[in-house]
Amino acid sequence: MNDRDQIDPRAMHVWDDHTDLFSHSVIGYAIERLQLRKNPKWGAAPAEELAAELEHVLTKNGVGGMEAMRVFREVLMPACRPLDDPMNLAFVPAAPSVASTMFDLVVSASSIFAGYWEAGAGAIAAENQALRWLADLAGYPKSAGGVFVSGGSAANLSAMVTARATHLAKYGRGKRLAFAATREVHASARAAARVMDVDVVDVDVDERGRMSANALRVALDQANDHQVFAVLATGGTTNAGVIDPLDEIAGVCDETDLWLHVDGAYGLAALTAPSARYRFAGIERTDSFGVDPHKWLFTPYDCAALLYRQPALAAAVHAQHGDYLDAIDRGEWNPSDYAYHLSRRARGLPLWFGLATYGTEAYTAAVEQALTTAHEFARAVDRHPDFELLLEPALSIVLFKRNGWTLEQYDAWSHRRAREGVALIVPTSWKGEPCYRICVVDPRTDIAELTPLLDDIAAFM
Ligand SMILES: *Cc1c(COP(=O)(O)O)cnc(C)c1O
């Protein structure tokens, strides 16, 4: 049916040929990993089972690289879900490019301390070039800057810490601190609030799940018990791909002197796509934003960009000081100063290398392709009598309902087809009702493979 059915990853393994040096080369395995499609049936195994397989591995004398590699290839890798399979449409999947992934090996091999300019200037200059590309897409001023962190969660936390410090420096502390967000905000925003011991002032959403300027004004007016220091808006919610109206929200933040951070971990990749760019109008007025290249900019884990309009405000709270640190002249741009971390790998370099290799237009084309696939799928849902499109997709997430189905039925089809390696599509809910959700980030996701799933779901008992 499709080429995955014909590839038996084991049969093609160069590892089965134990004759040459290549067969115990870690690099060889990495290349092979990139060339062969992963088996979509791979996934979690019971901890006990894996522990038993691992029992002989850590010993006083070691088992040798060949054996450790065998365990990884035969036992451990198959117990990891292939998030980069083009038919993995759950959560936010991954689609790292060959160039970015190969360069990640180079970053590891290079042992660069990319915290301070003094130690990692060459790597940092290139990371900054990639950050500048993102800043330009958002229309940020030349003075903007930021850092690559581990993920959208780290970006949200670091931005909120900067927002709070900026607010406190100006206004001092009166009441209990809070930032404003809707219930559609990513779970990491509330996690950041818990880490910071601040509250979240809830802003109501409109019928499409967006934060309106009016709802924000009402929430701020009613937040009498709190001193609100920031608004955390979303550029592409994880559940529905919905984009808050950033320009309106920026207007309220201007009036009230509140920091505006946009969590665009998934969605802001679409700044590269002319067909979607207008949806982010107002992004140029924000104080900070985050976008995860490991989600939809074809970069391997872990790579998230955090940009500030005024990076000095971040350095004022995040820079670490100590005798051992202050003794050196750190140099002109220190990524360590812009988030909660000190040592860091140059995790932005794989994005930079991918951009350098393929050119920025390749990124535009790849993001546009995922948008097109999602929109074509939405039209197929529209046409099908057994389904309802719950929301016109703004980006590449499509929410749709199988008429008359219960959550158990959604679960049953999902589990069956995931086990068979057909596709990974898992249910979510929209306005309290169960539904299906797909998220397309891979330009190789084939609409001709996707739309027949509707008939398959319709016929499923
Ligand atoms: C995925 C996601 C996050 C969390 O990002 P991590 O990289 O997993 O930490 C935060 N916000 C949004 C909107 C996301 O989609």
pLDDT tens column, 42-51: 999 999 999 9
In this prediction, residue 20 has a pLDDT band, given cuts at 50, 70 and 90, of very low
Share of the chain above pLDDT 90, in %: 87
pLDDT at 336 over 50: yes
pLDDT at 329 over 90: no
pLDDT at 27 over 60: yes
Nearest residue (by CA) to ligand 1, atom 4, is: 152
Helix (H) or strand (E) holding 259: strand 259-263
For the segment 341-346, the average pLDDT, to the nearest whole number, is 97
Across the chain, mean pLDDT equals 94
d(CA 263, CA 123): 26
- Any atom of ligand 1 within 6 Å of the Cβ of 182: no
In this prediction, residue 423 has a pLDDT band, given cuts at 50, 70 and 90, of very high
pLDDT digits (tens, 9 = 90+) for 192-248: 999 999 999 999 999 999 999 999 999 999 999 999 999 999 999 999 999 999 999
Residue 239's nearest CA partner among 8, 438, 432, 21 is: 438
- Any atom of ligand 1 within 6 Å of the Cβ of 93: no
Q: What's the pTM?
A: 0.94
d(CA 104, CA 299): 9
For the segment 94-116, the average pLDDT, to the nearest whole number, is 96
Q: Which of 58-62, 183-187, 262-266, 268-272 has the lowest mean pLDDT?
A: 58-62
Contact 305, 335 (CB under 8 A): no
Q: Pick the atom of ligand 1 nearest to 185's CA.
A: 13
Do β-strands 226-234 and 427-430 pair in parallel, antiparallel, or remain unpaired?
unpaired
Contact 153, 309 (CB under 8 A): no
For the segment 72-84, the average pLDDT, to the nearest whole number, is 95
pLDDT at 13 over 60: no
Q: Pick the atom of ligand 1 nearest to 264's CA.
A: 13
What is the reported pLDDT for 23? Answer: 52
- Any atom of ligand 1 within 6 Å of the Cβ of 346: no
Q: Pick the atom of ligand 1 nearest to 304's CA.
A: 7
Residue 294 CA to ligand 1 centre (angstroms): 10
CA 54 vs CA 12, 21, 82, 197: distances in Å: 25, 25, 21, 40
- Any atom of ligand 1 within 6 Å of the Cβ of 151: yes
Could you please report the per-residue DSSP string of 354-402? Answer: HHHHH-HHHHHHHHHHHHHHHHHHHHHHHH-TTEEE-S--SSSEEEEEE
**Ramachandran sector of residue 242 (left: φ over 0; alpha: ψ -120 to 50; beta: rest):** beta
Do β-strands 176-182 and 199-203 pair in parallel, antiparallel, or remain unpaired?
parallel
pLDDT digits (tens, 9 = 90+) for 289-328: 999 999 999 999 999 999 999 999 999 999 999 988 887 7
What is the reported pLDDT for 24? Answer: 56
What is the reported pLDDT for 203? Answer: 98
pLDDT at 21 over 90: no
For the segment 335-352, the average pLDDT, to the nearest whole number, is 98
Nearest residue (by CA) to ligand 1, atom 12, is: 265
Q: Which of 7-11, 334-338, 415-419 has the lowest mean pLDDT?
A: 7-11
What is the reported pLDDT for 330? Answer: 79
What is the reported pLDDT for 143? Answer: 97
- Any atom of ligand 1 within 6 Å of the Cβ of 292: yes
Residue 407 CA to ligand 1 centre (angstroms): 25
For the segment 258-279, the average pLDDT, to the nearest whole number, is 98
- Any atom of ligand 1 within 6 Å of the Cβ of 263: yes
d(CA 353, CA 348): 9
- Any atom of ligand 1 within 6 Å of the Cβ of 304: yes
In this prediction, residue 120 has a pLDDT band, given cuts at 50, 70 and 90, of very high
- Any atom of ligand 1 within 6 Å of the Cβ of 238: yes
Residue 62 CA to ligand 1 centre (angstroms): 38
pLDDT at 18 over 80: no
